[in-house]
Amino acid sequence: MDILKNLPLPLFGNLSPAELARYEKQLLLPEWGQTAQERVKQTRVFVAGGGNLVASAAFNLATAGVGHLRVVDLDRVALTDLGDQVVYRERDLNRPKALILQKRLQEVNPFVDVEGLERRLSEHNVLKLTQKFDLFLADLHEPQRALALNRAALKFKVPLLLGWTQEWRGSLVTLRPGIGLCLACTSLLDQPRHGNGLLSPITAIMGGVMALEALRILSGGEPALLERLFSFNGELCCCLDAPLAPKATCAVCGRSSKSKLAV
């Protein structure tokens, strides 16, 4: 607890002494500090799904001290999930992912409030479930779920982080529907995602990158991947990123090539 020696005690702000000790390494970062940590503690993140990279991202966000996480998923843990999703155990088989993830994240950090809702996210319930959140996370392997969350992001003008993994690769992009491009403005859903194979570490790598981007936004900083497609190639162990090419018009948000967007 060396950090306590460098802070003007007893002015801990919104962080308890136990939290200051828990987040000591983050607090020692000049670019982070107590202000960013307190801001992150006040934020609420909605996680669409309890598997793949979004579960890994949620794990990292809980560790980092995000105030509230809501995970919505109807799926149950399958044996195939254990190969790449480190938050689940064999004893969790056939149990609801949302409830298991809630329990696991609460064990990781009792200072974080975690909700696990065992239901399917859809166009019918998405607006009700996503009110009063600061950030949305979704996996593009579930396109209908991602499109539903895109609708909520457009309605509430909340940043939307989208990612997916396959084989040796993972990709991630940040959107601000209602301010900049929405998911339907892009060709992301049209991109082929061939093969069901996946090398296990790719999930953890991309979940970590998604959490890092989320923390940039939640702490009050600018996203690094706004409307830029970030890709990690595990075969070559290299990263690439390129700006998204928007469609000429968008039937969902009404954007056109003539629109002037404040991005």
Which pLDDT tens digit goes with each residue over 32-43?
999 999 999 999
Q: State residue 1's pLDDT score.
A: 46
Token pair belonging to 109: 């950090």
Whole-angstrom distance, CA of residue 253 vs CA of residue 181: 8
Strands (E), 53-153: 68-72, 113-117, 135-139
Report the distance separating Cα 103 and Cα 202, nearest Å: 24
Write down the pTM of the prediction. Answer: 0.91
Which range among 64-78, 79-93, 182-196, 239-253 shows the weakest confidence by mean pLDDT? Answer: 182-196
Q: Mean per-residue pLDDT for 200-210?
A: 96
Q: What's the DSSP call for residue 125?
A: T
234: buried, middle or exposed (CB in 10 Å: 19+, 13-18, 0-12)? middle
Convert the pLDDT of each residue in 109-127 to its tens digit.
999 999 999 999 999 999 9
Find all residues with CB under 8 Å of 239, minimum gap 6, and list them.
Answer: 230, 231, 232, 233
Domain topology for 43-243:
Rossmann fold (3.40.50)
**How far are the Cα atoms of 18, 84, 124, 251 from residue 130, in angstroms, in the given order?**
31, 27, 12, 22
Across 126-133, average pLDDT: 97
CA distance 69 to 217: 15
Residues of the chain with CATH 3.40.50.720: 43-243
Assess whether pLDDT exceeds 70 at residue 260: no
